[in-house]
Amino acid sequence: MCVGHLTRLRPKGAIRIYCKLSDPNLSVLSQTMAQCCKNIKETVQMLASRHKDIHGSVSKVGKAIDRNFDAEVSAVVAETVWDSPERQKYLSETIVEHLYRQGMLNVAEDLCQESGVVIDMSMKQPFLELNRILEALRMQDLRPALEWAVTNRQRLLDLNSSLEFKLHRLYFISLLNGGIGNQLEALQYARHFQPFASQHQRDIQILMGSLVYLRHGIENSPYRTLLETNQWAEICNIFTRDACALLGLSVESPLSVSFASGCMALPVLMNIKQVIEQRQCSGVWTHKDELPIEIDLGKKCWYHSVFACPILRQQTSESNPPMKLICGHVISRDALNKLTNAGKLKCPYCPMEQNPSDAKQIYF
């Protein structure tokens, strides 16, 4: 039906479209529309009934939160914890570092200005570079990461990192994605795999094998797993992990780790506080950097091994480090001094007699 026909049929003052149902095309259209309406109605009904099922549970969530959420959590923190300007400075610096890690450079600059924290450019620089490269990786641009990996090749190899190979591999795959037009370029790019031939032989064989299917499309070949899109997220993680290790930084921001640990520890701390208040036993909650009980935060939060002296039954520290005797037994330095008699030491375990100055400090 032409537009002119519609216009002629339109009565004055009203916008309407008249259909001649005798028209076979329109009859089909009308049937299709009716079917669509039916489908929509059914879908809406189905969604409504599903919604009804979950609505009961969802409506209870709010009440459950109110019942279980403790609005007053400041009670578990020692009031004086942020009193000194030095501690406030540490806190500001930690927040600024976190913001740099997240790539929120402007917010970090503003915080520095407002809090009076001065951040050394040498501390800022690695985060700026990491963020620039990560930003490019997220846009699927491998060049900045590749340049960085080539510059730091030896140091990455010393860390047993396969980052550079994985970047080249992904670049090669992006060429495969372009189809047969990229065949020559892909073949030429394969030269970059040469330094990794012995370590990643199998991976390289798979990449080269995929070239056979380039004409018919890798997505229809046994090599279609090469095109999986989650590889980009994976390469971002590998880059962050290896670059942080190379720069001597922790992979996760200390602020995030502290916050997550605090969230896990908070319920336990609230319980302890309650018990202490009920039993009125003061002095358990001290203002030292120590909690009254040990809280298990899971293996993810294990960072440092600890050594407790078997003689003094105390955890060793920087001022009282563990010392290895020549017989191989380890005790704390304080214990070693206490056991030394007239310049001689008798190991409390073997008991080998030895010169205490032969004992070596252990670092871990």
Binding to Zn ion (CB under 5 A) within 316-345 occurs at 327, 329
Name the 3-class secondary structure at 322: strand
Binding residues for Zn ion, rule CB under 5 A, total: 5
Q: How far is the CB of 331 from Zn ion (least distance, A)?
A: 9
Residue 349 binds to Zn ion (criterion: CB under 5 A): yes
Q: CA–CA distance from 76 to each of 102, 271, 273, 276 (Å)?
A: 29, 10, 7, 11
Nearer to Zn ion, 89 or 329 (CB): 329
Name the 3-class secondary structure at 345: strand
Q: How far is the CB of 349 from Zn ion (least distance, A)?
A: 4
Q: Mutual orientation of helices 105-115 and 85-101 as an angle, nearest 10°?
A: 170
Task: Decide: 204 and 193 in contact? Cβ < 8 Å.
Answer: yes
Answer whether the bond into residue 322 is a cis peptide, omega within 30°.
Answer: no
Q: How far is the CB of 327 from Zn ion (least distance, A)?
A: 3
Q: How far is the CB of 328 from Zn ion (least distance, A)?
A: 6
CA distance 265 to 254: 16
Nearer to Zn ion, 117 or 312 (CB): 312
How many angstroms from the chain centroid is the CA of residue 296? 21
Nearer to Zn ion, 235 or 331 (CB): 331
Task: Decide: 335 and 308 in contact? Cβ < 8 Å.
Answer: no
CA distance 61 to 52: 15
Q: How far is the CB of 325 from Zn ion (least distance, A)?
A: 5
Nearer to Zn ion, 146 or 325 (CB): 325
Judged by CB under 5 A, which of 9, 46, 123, 350 binds Zn ion? 350
Judged by CB under 5 A, which of 269, 309, 347, 359 binds Zn ion? 347
Nearer to Zn ion, 241 or 329 (CB): 329
Q: How far is the CB of 350 from Zn ion (least distance, A)?
A: 3
Nearer to Zn ion, 62 or 343 (CB): 343
- What single DSSP character describes residue 84? S
Q: How far is the CB of 329 from Zn ion (least distance, A)?
A: 4
Binding to Zn ion (CB under 5 A) within 20-39 occurs at none
Nearer to Zn ion, 161 or 332 (CB): 332
Q: How far is the CB of 362 from Zn ion (least distance, A)?
A: 14
Residue 213 binds to Zn ion (criterion: CB under 5 A): no
From 81-89, 171-179, 205-213, 349-357, give the range in contact with Zn ion by CB under 5 A.
349-357
Q: Which residues pair with 322 in a beta bridge?
A: 332
Neighbours of 144 (CB within 10 A): 15
CA distance 275 to 126: 47
CA distance 196 to 163: 11
Nearer to Zn ion, 213 or 307 (CB): 307
CA distance 309 to 251: 31
Q: Which residues bind Zn ion (CB under 5 A)?
A: 327, 329, 347, 349-350
